Chains A and B, each alone.
Chain A
Amino acid sequence: MIDLVLHIWRQDGPAAKGAFVRYDMKAVNPHMSFLEMLDLLNEQLTERGEEPVAFEHDCREGICGSCGLVIGGVPHGPQARTATCQLHMRHFRTGDEIWIEPWRAAAFPIIRDLVVDRTALDRIIEAGGYISVRTGSPPDANAIPIPKEDADLAFDAASCIGCGACVAACPNASAMLFTAAKISHLGLLPQGQPERYHRAVRMVVHMDEEGFGSCTNHGECEAACPKGISLDFIARLNRDLCKGTLIGAG
């Protein structure tokens, strides 16, 4: 069992002023997940009649992308390639002071405590992150062979969970890695070719409109990404964006 000191960002609403509040947590089982530790805190707060800490979570197995806390200054905490929900308390020691904050970015307004509004990411997808195909009778799935290497690389890009850690980690709060992942996923596949350059231009233009910053190649996004999405995809985005701009796509 370990004893911890938590400093958690509390904020009543989007317009309210927030601040860190200190909580002493005793006898935390090291097998607990980080979110279970917060559940325990919330249960204690509830029993004391205080309002529990609001935080986002759903699948708790690292795939839905709901959870996301900045833990000790690092999005998703100290363990590499691990979403907050899969981080376990065995990585902490008695006496540790843990600072827990929401994602911080102008495009992600705080809703309450540790919960932020990430709908800007959905709007980037709506700007072009798809292949326009109607439900109906497309050609047989094996009609277009796709080299395994391409399919695998497309999959690597497609494994983005849309959590927004890349934005939180970026000193410019850029959503470049998120956007690049989708542009690469679809741009690597033959089905994605017809809209490839339009897609790249529209998505990047929209990313800018949402108030995300620009990419200046810090690489913090890749380091924070729980799925290990590679920075190479940003190079791919830039190439498609460049060509798209030259040919007047968008």
Chain B
Amino acid sequence: MELRSNVPFGPIQDKWDRHKFDLKLVNPANKRKYDIIVVGTGLAGASAAASLAELGYKVKCFCFQDSPRRAHSIAAQGGINAAKNYQNDGDSVWRLFYDTVKGGDFRSREANVYRLAQISANIIDQCVAQGVPFAREYGGLLANRSFGGAQVSRTFYARGQTGQQLLLGAYQALATQIAGGGVEMHPRTEMLDVVVVDGHARGIVVRDLVTGTVTAHAAHAVVLATGGYANVFYLSTNAKGCNVTATWRAHKRGALFANPCFTQIHPTCIPPSGEYQSKLTLMSESLRNDGRIWVPRQAGDKRAAGDIPVGERDYYLERLYPSFGNLTPRDIASRRAKEAVDEGRGVGELANGVYLEFRDAIERLGRSAIEERYGNLFEMYERITGENPYDVPMRIYPAPHYTMGGLWVDYNLMSTVPGLFVIGEANFSDHGANRLGASALMQGLADGYFVLPYTIGDYLARQPVQPVSSEAAPFRDVEREVRERTARLLAVNGTRSVDALHRELGKVLWDKCGMARNERGLRDALRIIPELRERFWAEVKVTGSGTTLNQALEKAGRLADFLEFAELMCHDALERNESCGAHFREESQTEEGEAMRDDEHFTYVAAWEYTGVGERPRLHREDLNFEHVPLSTRSYK
């Protein structure tokens, strides 16, 4: 299989404009004759569904939540980047492009990233027009902040709830279209497979989560906007429902999966408080602007934080990275925290965190300034831990947060299955091996509002206008397979709950394919995961039936897919014998313990082809060329 990125020729600044001109258009009178399925209603899905319906396409939209407004984009806190240069601090499209390519540690496609930076400014205009209440200055203009270590202030935000406000904007645009009949909305409906007819994606099979009814839906194109797979680790900052099922089933139908081992571990989350922990809560990265991270110098020091004198504390980020200090990028901050805890210097009852202390900032700026900046976060922390961060330092620890990997797509956001488009976190495209803060919201909305609506038209214009029907044999076959799979899950009738088995999988991945990976650990994981998968199919207990709301059944189906996907993740991590971005291979580091990229051998996207459950997947490479941002080593010393 030849991977064609379909990046247009010409200077990078002109590629997207020229490409938009070259794309075929669908006659306005014909648009209503094309059906498009959009799966997922987060920033990417909701914005795409609304924009496509506005253009006149007939859109069917699906989400597993009870309302499209609840998709997990809602939980994003920090902000959204845009190259507006409102602050006159030297920002530009070029700088945002440069920062994103470099931040991704040179494992993303230059042309895609450049387009993202170009579009970023339109997104802000669009959202403001929708009524998104971004933070403003007293003069009435938009406020910005510097975020995630960026040297310019290009992040737009709405207190600590930027994702919520952006999603409500997209959801309201979607609601307009639902009311106008342009979008047929199917909440509480989970996509369980893609239907491919004559090599083209022509529909999906879904299960109504309330009645259990399995049905097929046909369309001229299918758009997956189904988010990331960080829940493969069981514990992550993702919502409980986030899963890999849609993208994994598409993968099994022929869509290549790219860079699955690129998983971002966010440094500032609240550590687990016990075995029962069900998810991890992120504390905004902005806390690192004023908080100082430290652990005791001595392993096993059980004294309360306040009793440890400054001389016996190790402010390890400030020590190791004097110029960036506590603001080192996410991957480095995470890995160093893990090291400190692994050395026995972890803090808290379970010795599983590091301190993030505000004492010095409170002394310097006063309590009210800190309250103004972080009051809501401190309140949230206290609600969860019962500890008051004004008096005792916060405890934080890294947690899986975002997945840069995803289904491989070309410049048009189309996967290797013609007619199957993938947008937002579900694709692999723009973040390389590491995503910068405030870039996920930007990418989701760029894909949904401003890229897909153009590129999908080019595909549709080449398809016959004939109506599609879900009565054809391939639809019946996939429906039957989905029903059989559900029946199989219910029939195991073992003794273990889905969560118990999921926790086991999570532990294997966290230990062996988490913040640091090595060959031995990955080989162990590749041995353990198939065993665990077998045990799952022998031991899982799914009570109830397939004809009512059955949450255990939903979870079981998702875990079954995670158990297959996990193996792919480890294969990818093993194959990529270099450290880059969030992927740290212990074999590939400098003497000081910094990540060492191997550009000679690994400057490519690893796109994997499915060959069967438990079979070794087949690797395809898309070579990456860096013509505008010269390959260099990130240094934060």
Contact = CB atoms under 8 A, between A and B. Distances in A.
B517 interface: no
Nearest to A46: B497
A130 B176 contact: yes
B424 to A, nearest CB: 16
B543 A147 contact: no
Nearest to B542: A46
Interface in B122-147: 122, 124-131, 133-142
Interface residues of B, number: 79
A140 B142 CA distance: 11
Contact of B165 (A82, A138, A158, A186): A158
Contact of B239 (A52, A59, A134): A59
29 contacts: A29-B273, A29-B274, A29-B276, A31-B274, A33-B384, A35-B278, A40-B276, A42-B497, A43-B500, A46-B543, A51-B544, A52-B552, A56-B66, A61-B75, A64-B75, A88-B384, A117-B66, A119-B66, A119-B67, A119-B187, A122-B69, A131-B130, A135-B54, A135-B449, A138-B126, A151-B133, A155-B158, A159-B161, A191-B131
B179 interface: yes
Given A119-B67, A126-B175, A133 B497 contact: no
A132 interface: yes
A147 B140 contact: yes
A134 B130 CA distance: 9
Interface residues of A, number: 79
Chain A at the B interface: SS class: loop
Contacts of A141: 84, 124-125, 127-128, 134, 142
Contacts of A142: 86, 141-142
B450 interface: yes
A242 interface: no
B281 interface: yes
Nearest to A157: B133
A185 B122 CA distance: 22
Interface string A183-197: 001100101100000
B502 to A, nearest CB: 11
Contact of B75 (A45, A59, A145): A59
Nearest to A122: B67
A13 B548 contact: yes
Contact of A58 (B68, B241, B273, B384): B241
A60 B279 contact: yes
B429 to A, nearest CB: 20
Contacts of A39: 276, 278, 499
Interface in B581-623: none
B560 interface: no
Given A43-B499, A61-B281, A137-B122, A151 B134 contact: yes
A115 B164 contact: no
B303 interface: no
Interface string A101-112: 000000000011
B499 A63 contact: no
Nearest to A82: B383
A99 B128 CA distance: 44
Given A147-B140, A154-B131, A185-B133, 9 more contacts: A36-B278, A42-B497, A56-B66, A58-B70, A61-B75, A66-B65, A112-B548, A119-B187, A132-B176
B405 to A, nearest CB: 22
A141 B281 CA distance: 32
A188 to B, nearest CB: 8
Contacts of B135: 151
A129 interface: yes
Ranked 8 nearest A-B pairs via Cβ: A145-B140, A138-B129, A130-B172, A31-B273, A126-B179, A155-B133, A141-B128, A135-B51
B121 to A, nearest CB: 8
Nearest to B82: A141
A130 B173 contact: yes
B88 interface: no
Interface string A85-124: 0101010000000000000000000011001011101100
Contacts of B500: 43
Contact of A158 (B124, B128, B133, B210): B133
A32 interface: yes
Interface string B221-260: 0000000000000000001110000000000000000000
A25 interface: no
A62 to B, nearest CB: 7
Most buried by A among B66, B127, B449, B552: B66
B159 interface: yes
B440 to A, nearest CB: 15
Nearest to A160: B168
A146 interface: yes
B632 interface: no
B140 A129 contact: no
Contacts of B168: 158
Contacts of A118: 66-67
B67 to A, nearest CB: 5
A54 interface: yes
B213 to A, nearest CB: 14
B148 interface: no
A117 B164 CA distance: 22
Contacts of B384: 33, 86, 88
A28 B398 CA distance: 26
B274 A66 contact: no
A82 B75 CA distance: 16
Nearest to A133: B129
Nearest to B68: A122
A118 B187 CA distance: 11
A161 B179 CA distance: 21
B71 to A, nearest CB: 8
A60 B133 contact: no
Interface in A3-35: 12-13, 29, 31-33, 35
Contacts of B141: 142, 145
B72 interface: yes
Contacts of B151: none
Contacts of B499: 39, 43
Contacts of A29: 273-274, 276
A66 B548 contact: no
B492 interface: no
A248 interface: no
Q: Which of A42, A64, A122, A185 is most buried by chain B, counting CB atoms within 10 A of its CB?
A: A64
B381 to A, nearest CB: 11
Contacts of B241: 58
**Centre residue among A36, A61, A134, A151 by max chain B CB count within 10 A:** A61
B412 interface: no
Contacts of A192: 131
